Amino acid sequence: MVKPSKIKDQPRKIRKYMYLTTEEAVRFEETAAMSGLAESVFLRRLALAKEIRPKKARQAQNLVFELSKTMAELNRVGNNLNQLAYQANLKGYIQDVANLEAYLSELRLVVEEIGETIKRV
């Protein structure tokens, strides 16, 4: 469970109680579990009208962020390969140019696949 972040100067000392039916308690526990939050954190966020996203949504958002960073890095690598291919072509290293262009094509495919994955998430 995720521990709530609290300000050191504001310890939580006040306890509130509520009564639920068995069905309500089961639904409450299931919903809190789906959010990935402790029940007390979940309830506090509900009471204070704060956003509650399902755990999977937070994980998907983190995945998209990481994939976007990876895609940006791969694009930088692709730019470097393209510059190397250009220089090799200028200096007449035909075999090197062919190899670099092959690597660049593979890299572009990987970047496209990452882009498609991000769109699906």
The string of pLDDT tens digits covering residues 6-43 is: 556 678 888 888 898 999 889 888 888 888 888 888 88
The DSSP bridge partners found for residue 19 are none
Q: What pLDDT is stored for residue 21 in this prediction?
A: 92
Q: Residue 89, CB half-sphere, CA atoms under 13 Å: how many?
A: 11
Residue 2 inside a domain? The answer is no
Helices and strands per DSSP (H, E), number in the chain: 4, 0
Residue 26 inside a domain? The answer is yes
Contact 53, 35 (CB under 8 A): yes
Both 79 and 107 in one domain: the answer is yes
The string of pLDDT tens digits covering residues 104-120 is: 888 888 888 888 877 77
Looking at residue 4, the DSSP 8-state letter turns out to be P
Both 48 and 80 in one domain: the answer is no
Tally the domains of the chain. Answer: 2
Both 59 and 116 in one domain: the answer is yes
Between 55-91 and 94-120, two packed helices, what is the crossing angle to 10 degrees?
Answer: 160
Q: Please report where in the chains the tokens 């940006």 appear, as a residue.
A: 72
Q: Domain of 111?
A: 55-120
Ramachandran quadrant class, 92 (left: phi over 0; alpha: psi -120 to 50; beta: rest): left
pTM score of the predicted model: 0.41
CB atoms within 10 A of CB 85: 20
Residue 7 inside a domain? The answer is no
Q: What pLDDT is stored for residue 22 in this prediction?
A: 92
